[in-house]
Amino acid sequence: MKTNSLCKLNVSIDDLYNNKFQINIHFDESKHIYHLILNSFGVIDCKLSCFSANVWTRTKAGTEKKKYKTLKSLQTEIKKHIRKNLNINGLVFFSLSKNINLI
């Protein structure tokens, strides 16, 4: 299921940091799927990664190794980061996956 809100995915922020689930990020103007990585090999992170596009980028919290407290604050920062650093201005959708990619 794709949605434009992380809260609609029925997952907690702790589930994401504990790698129980991973968020996939889809764009209406790109064929690539990005992965949201919040815990990379036991280290707190916030990285958007797309192996097929050969792109990865960290949010400010990821660089500072700080956790987001809510899904809403995480979603706001992701969308702002995408527009600023990936130059993608179209619609952003999220889906949930049990397949965890750490790179």
Global pTM value: 0.87
For the chain, give every domain's residue range.
Answer: 6-25+43-97
**Residues 51-95: pLDDT tens digits?**
888 888 898 888 899 999 999 999 999 999 988 888 888 889 999
71-79 LR contacts (CB < 8 Å, sep 24+): 71/6, 71/7, 71/11, 71/12, 71/13, 72/6, 72/7, 74/6, 74/13, 74/16, 74/46, 75/5, 75/6, 75/7, 77/46, 78/25, 78/36, 78/48
